[in-house]
């Protein structure tokens, strides 16, 4: 397996809907791969449909179906922060040659308190949350250990 083309939207607060972001990134990936839509044999979508997200991200299969305008298998691989990796893994197991993989999250579709509650729902309640670990704290601990082991700096992380 290898990646033939990529498309991405800018990070940050946006006024575009998730559907518009998917459309933009998908068209860019197809163009970058020097593909035609007809070359795509299947698609895997990774998105989290949170309870408070008014956009109903579970409908991305329908969005892709409308964008591609062809009948292909479209699967969803939901794994919160690991969604992109889960989608690539799923695509690798499908047995097709040309698979569109789309990962999308638009967290700013609601207020900060609701977004934080939704993010924390993905954490393991008994062991992680009881210890006060939330995702930012976990990521900070992992980054700290990486920096110690590999002598990395915050400037190194800024390059990513």
Model confidence at 124, pLDDT cuts 50, 70, 90, reads low
The whole-number average pLDDT for the span 140-149 is 91
**For 42-70, how does the pLDDT look when each residue is reduced to its tens digit (9 = 90+)?**
999 887 665 555 555 556 677 777 778 88
pTM above 0.75, yes or no: no
Give CATH for domain 1-122: 3.40.47.10
pLDDT recorded at residue 32: 94
Map out the domains of the chain as residue ranges. 1-122, 124-160
If one compares 63 and 152, the residue with the highest pLDDT of the two is 152
Mean pLDDT of the chain: 81
Cα 151 vs. chain centroid, distance in angstroms?
Answer: 29
Query: pLDDT > 90: what percent of the chain?
Result: 27
Q: Are 8 and 28 in contact (CB under 8 A)?
A: yes
- pLDDT for residue 117 is more than 80: no
- Cβ-in-10-Å burial (0-12, 13-18, 19+) of 79 comes to middle
**For 78-114, how does the pLDDT look when each residue is reduced to its tens digit (9 = 90+)?**
777 778 889 999 999 999 999 999 887 766 666 677 7
CB atoms within 10 A of CB 66: 11
Model confidence at 28, pLDDT cuts 50, 70, 90, reads very high
pLDDT recorded at residue 107: 63
């Amino acid at each position: 397996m290898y990646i033939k083309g990529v498309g991405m939207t800018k990070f940050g607060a946006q006024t575009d809907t998730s559907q518009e972001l998917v459309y933009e990134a998908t068209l860019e990936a197809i163009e970058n791969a020097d593909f035609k839509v007809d070359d795509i044999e299947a698609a895997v979508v990774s998105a989290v449909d949170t309870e408070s997200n008014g956009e109903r991200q579970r409908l991305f299969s329908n969005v892709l179906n409308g964008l591609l305008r062809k009948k292909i298998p479209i699967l969803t691989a939901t794994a919160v922060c690991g969604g992109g990796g889960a989608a690539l893994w799923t695509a690798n197991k499908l047995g097709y040659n040309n698979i569109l993989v789309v990962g999308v999250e638009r967290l700013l579709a609601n207020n900060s308190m609701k977004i934080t509650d939704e993010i924390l729902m993905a954490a393991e309640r008994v062991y992680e949350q009881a210890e006060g670990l939330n995702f930012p704290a976990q990521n900070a601990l992992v980054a700290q250990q990486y920096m110690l082991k590999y002598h990395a700096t915050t400037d190194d992380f800024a390059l990513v």
